[in-house]
Amino acid sequence: MSLDINLYAEFLMHTRSVTVCATVRKDSPTFKKAYVHADRQTVSILCDDVSSIIALPLGIEIKGSVGFPVSDPAEISLRLEIAEDGQPSHGLHMAVVNDVPWSAKRLTTQSQIACRSCSQTIVPAKQRIWKDLPRGSWAETLDQWYCHRPSKDHADGTPFLGAAEPMLDSDTALVDTCHFIILGEDCVDITTESNESLLCRICRSRLGVLDKKFEGLKIFKWNVILLRDHGLEWERNSIQCLVCAQMLELMEDQNVRKFIAHPDETAGEEHGILLWVFNPDIKYSSSHLFGGRPRRAMKILYEKICSPEEMISKMQSSAEELLLPLYVFEQLEKDLDFSDSMLPEPAKRTLPAAAMQQWKVALLDRFDPPGG
């Protein structure tokens, strides 16, 4: 008998419980039931002599052990109560914190940046200070703090706080959610095209664009790998991880949960993706993804659309535009479709059937710092 067991567990913050979903595909007419077992750290399902096991999401423990037969294993859905022994170990809090990949606080004077495609170093290590750029809404926030902007600096000569901007110099590099801004003289093996695009001199892969505001080079994080410190390994972040960080920032600044993603250039017929961040911070485990190891993610409802520019105009303030390089958009689309295909059907019933309509369900992995 051949069985395909798809086992999935997700931590539900608002109910303090773990929902477990599974589907079992079989080719034997004699197969009639399955047995589900959960202890404090794992969930498993046994179908005759075939089993599947996953770890509970990221340190979550359930109360005691449970075990029971399931008469119809084709689709299984159940909820388990979690143990609350003092401080929760799962690390989720009501306030969603946007942990940004490669933020300034994680970088050192030994940090280096290299081309993602050929591993050629483009930003060598240097005695520099890495500074996080303020969020996109920082200027508007200062306007709210100050009802009167003085026309002159303070009496002691210090500049007015509201007029201050981050500075880029030979001793400083700036870090944003999805890019770095670095002086050209501090970079190597980068060429500039007539359209202001930055390319790797060795493999001709795209690295970023010129930044006129700071008069430096804007290097996109999804185009590079990074060595944080001497003796560590080179790191790379997935595109979905960086897109999640960008959406979280826009959620905080613009108070929206829907995004219209589309490429900055077209390859054939114009199309985009309408993204609805249904849950910005979940922890899950899946037998079909990453060997059942726990992960942190966003739960996304998405729908593929035509004419994204028209929809942006139609939805106005209810959705935010997410303009992405073509190759980033294509990878995001693949990640969404792959996740949707891997989730068991019960885990996709996020909304009532009438409300789901054309929505598909996917998980996009978030950046989860060590110890997070």
Alpha helices in the chain (DSSP H): 138-145, 239-254, 308-315, 326-342, 353-356
Q: pLDDT tens digits, residue range 156-184?
A: 444 444 445 678 888 999 999 999 999 99
Q: What is the DSSP string of 230-247?
A: TTSPPB---HHHHHHHHH
* Residue 135 CA to its chain's centroid (Å): 17
CB atoms within 10 A of CB 156: 5
Contact present, 362 and 276 (Cβ < 8 Å): no
* Residue 128 CA to its chain's centroid (Å): 28
* Least confident among 8-22, 90-104, 114-128: 90-104
Cα(283)–Cα(20) distance, rounded to whole angstroms?
Answer: 12
Cα(258)–Cα(253) distance, rounded to whole angstroms?
Answer: 13
Q: What local confidence, expressed as pLDDT, does residue 94 receive? A: 46
* Phi, psi of 340, rounded to the nearest 5 degrees: -60, -40
Q: pLDDT tens digits, residue range 109-126?
A: 999 999 999 999 999 999
* Vertex 21 angle, CA 16 and 23, to 5°: 180
3 state DSSP class of 366 = coil
* Local confidence band at 270 (pLDDT 50, 70, 90 cut-offs): confident
Arithmetic mean of pLDDT over the chain: 82
Q: Of 149 and 345, which is predicted with more confidence?
A: 345
* Local confidence band at 217 (pLDDT 50, 70, 90 cut-offs): very high
Which letter does DSSP use for residue 345 in this model?
G
Q: What local confidence, expressed as pLDDT, does residue 143 receive? A: 47
Q: Virtual CA dihedral for 352, 53, 368, 62, nearest 10 degrees? A: 70
* Local confidence band at 154 (pLDDT 50, 70, 90 cut-offs): very low
Q: What local confidence, expressed as pLDDT, does residue 324 receive? A: 94
- What is the share, in percent, of the chain residues with pLDDT greater than 70? 78
Q: Of 270 and 34, which is predicted with more confidence?
A: 270
Q: What local confidence, expressed as pLDDT, does residue 89 receive? A: 47
Q: Of 221 and 140, which is predicted with more confidence?
A: 221
Q: What local confidence, expressed as pLDDT, does residue 145 receive? A: 42
Contacts of 314 (CB under 8 A, 6+ apart): none
Cα(31)–Cα(314) distance, rounded to whole angstroms?
Answer: 52
Q: Of 136 and 120, which is predicted with more confidence?
A: 120
Burial of 162 (0-12, 13-18, 19+ CB in 10 A): middle
Q: pLDDT tens digits, residue range 345-362?
A: 888 888 777 678 889 999
Q: What local confidence, expressed as pLDDT, does residue 114 receive? A: 98
Mean pLDDT value of segment 20-37: 70
Mean pLDDT value of segment 312-321: 87
